[in-house]
Amino acid sequence: MNRINTISGDSAEFVFIRHGETEWNLENRMQGQLDAPLTEKGRQQADALAARLSRAGLTELYSSDLGRAWQTALPIAAATGLKPVAAPQWRERHLGIFQGLDPAALQAKYPQEWAKFMTWDPDWRIPAGESSVDLRNRLEVASREFGARHPGSRIGIVTHGGVLDMLMRMALGIPLVEHRRYSLFNASLNAFTWRKGGWRLDTWGDISHLLEIGSGDNRSVAARSL
């Protein structure tokens, strides 16, 4: 991934990296802020990311403190020589009582809550978890904090599908109530530029480094899989 623009002193470029494939990704379980280990493919994906990012010119490396993200970040750190910093601000959305269950189990155990979730009401908070608005508000604070902290830099952040979905919506003004019509690939590179006015999307869903090793995303997506 090459630089698209020269970064000015009042902006920063962020390369958001989705973690590698996990056991629960394969099972379409809702991970949220619980964790599942990377699969063998996920570890291969992390190594491919590391090779790609070794020449990407990153100046900082952050990772969600959830295990699947941190496990993805460690090979990147080794390849770039950057010390990874845990950043809980970029955790996945907390999915409360849904965490650890697949859609079929959710519909059986929590039919009313699942039906409400599938209305995409952005203000509805999953019991013991976060709403879409909660996630957006958290990321807005993180965006301002990290943008101000690293002007003129190129920052790598290992994060999660729900976070990437929200960043896309923030950058392009997609309403939270609108169903997602774009893919979220494991171990993808997604570049954004931050300025005080907000995010600009530069690159989305780049997985060319995975195709080279024959270890692309499994493309298995549940109705609203996070």
Q: Provide the annotated active-site residues.
A: 19, 92
- For residue 119, the one-letter residue type is T
Residue for token digits 């493309």?
219
Q: Give the helix/strand (H/E) hosting 190.
A: strand 189-195
- Look up residue 64 and give its two tokens: 């969600």
Residue for token digits 């809702």?
30
| Beta-bridge partners for 13 | 154, 193
**Burial class of residue 220 in the structure, from the number of CB atoms within 10 Å of its CB (0-12 exposed, 13-18 middle, 19+ buried):** exposed
